[in-house]
Structure 1
Amino acid sequence: MKDLNRIKVVLVEKKRTNKWLAAQIGKDPATVSKWCTNKSQPDLATLANVAKLLEVEMKDLLNNINQ
């Protein structure tokens, strides 16, 4: 399966951690870890919240799966 999101990459670019993101959105750090490793994906509402917290567009958190 191809990586669908870039959450881990954007967290590194913003110098933030999985643990920080989990605390900000009220999710278990293990859940955020699964998103960062693309083992699972956040729902669209959560993805929008993540984008807002990281001050990026939602599209910046997604990989282009057509490449």
Structure 2
Amino acid sequence: MLQSAFKLFCLGCAMLGPLAAGLLKQYVIEPEIYAIFLVGGVLLGFGGVCGFASIERDETRRFRAAIGKKG
């Protein structure tokens, strides 16, 4: 259950990080400051995708091992 919550958190970060960076464009006046927010949002999204993929890979590995033991 904890892994499912972490997967949901990672999925939320993957979607909302770049979205939040894009939404901040109209409020941030200085381009240098917006660049920091943009890079942070993109990196947050990338980290969310990597975390989700890592958990998914581990679940697939465990599922295949369980199928191999039964069959």
* TM-score (ref. length: structure 2): 0.22
**Higher helix proportion, which one?**
2
